[in-house]
Amino acid sequence: MLAVDRAFARADAVLREACGKQFTGAVARIEQGGKVRFERAYGATRSDARGRPVCVDTLFDLASITKPFVTTLALRAVAEGKIELDGTLTHIFPEWNGAHAAITLRMLLSHTSGMNSGADYRELLDRNVVAFALDRELAADPGQRVIYSDLGFIAVGELLQRSAQRSLRALARPAMYAPPARLRDWIPATEDDGWRGRVQGFVHDEKAYLMGGTAGHAGMFGRASDVAALAEEYLAPPAGRAANVLPPRLAHEAISEQAFDPVLRRGLGWALKTTDENSCGRYLSRETFGHTGFVGTCIWADPQRDCSGVLLTNSVYFGRNDTRDLRAAFYEAMVEDLGLQ
């Protein structure tokens, strides 16, 4: 574990105060200029006698942070000429005809495909979830407006699998799907959902769970360092550092506005800061990109300040409460601690 830098007393205090109240366990990691400035673990995997201490390398259910990981896989396939960003996808999805035929990968990644947001898991208990996602009637014409869509990213995951003829589980690195049984007790528990009981070591998202834990929209488990490394792929090029996975032009396009939305503008797989009400808080610039996860995870990175902050928690353990204020407090404290406000 890295020693706590006294310069990060504000961020540390925010998380100490929230530990045991808004989450049972958390890991925070702050990087600047591609280097770790602060990393610390808090609390335990659950609040009862089965709880184990959280460490900086603890795996968390990343929830929707899966989406920028899957986006990066898709953009790598674009860079390799295996998939077109703006071409039709009917050669891979022959079942797409009619309105679906106009959908492109860019639309899927920017949530402008017109696909529905999601579905109640109870509708899906006896269904093939991928077929449901691909076949469901569109909610809007492709390219017309932003609809944040789990179903769209289920389609991206299936697109990658059909194109590569490999499973997402095999493609995912360094984050993973379906952690092995020996690790489950060391993964922070999430919700007691009244269906599966207290969920621990299995994906919280119901649709991903019904898909065997492997999906394009959710299901990845990872460490704070894995999420920080993902953000660095997109922070590095504008700062003049070499990225390991994507060509700079694609990395730049992914964190540039593809579609406007008054709540959160959309890049490719990434959300872009739109107002000071976003969970990245007041101080990070409008160039900031990031993503949140329903279980209590988030990443925000600011190219202008060349910094990123990862906050992985299991806040849903205490219920489906809005944790925007906690996240914003952490990111505002991060900027103050870095002396960049």
Residue range 88-113, pLDDT digits in tens: 999 999 999 999 999 999 999 999 99
Report pLDDT for 7.
85
Residues 118-134: b if buried by 16+ CB within 10 A, e if exposed:
bbebeebeeeebbebbb
HSE toward the beta carbon, residue 274, CA cutoff 13 A: 16
- Report d(CA 96, CA 278) in Å as an integer: 35
What is the residue type of 241?
R
pLDDT of res. 3: 45
Question: What pLDDT score does 69 carry?
Answer: 98
3-state secondary structure of 272: strand
Is the pTM for the entire model greater than 0.85?
A: yes
* Structural domains of the chain, with CATH: 6-55+223-338 (3.40.710.10), 79-171 (no CATH)
pLDDT at 6: 67
Please give the DSSP secondary-structure letter assigned to residue 98: G
Closest CA to 237 of 83, 4, 45, 79: 79
pLDDT tens sequence across 115-172: 999 999 999 999 999 999 999 999 999 999 999 999 999 999 999 999 999 999 999 9
- Cα separation, 336 vs 259, whole angstroms: 30
Question: Left (φ > 0), alpha (ψ -120 to 50) or beta: where does 194 sit?
Answer: left
The number of beta carbons lying within 10 Å of the beta carbon of residue 260 is 12
Contact 28, 39 (CB under 8 A): yes
Task: Please identify every stretch of the chain with a pLDDT value under 70, giving residue numbers as ranges.
Answer: 1-6
Q: String of b and e for 167-184 (b: at least 16 CB within 10 Å)?
A: ebeebbeebbbbbeeeee
Between CA 62 and CA 222 the distance in angstroms is 6
In this prediction, residue 173 carries a pLDDT of: 87
Residue 197: the pLDDT is 97
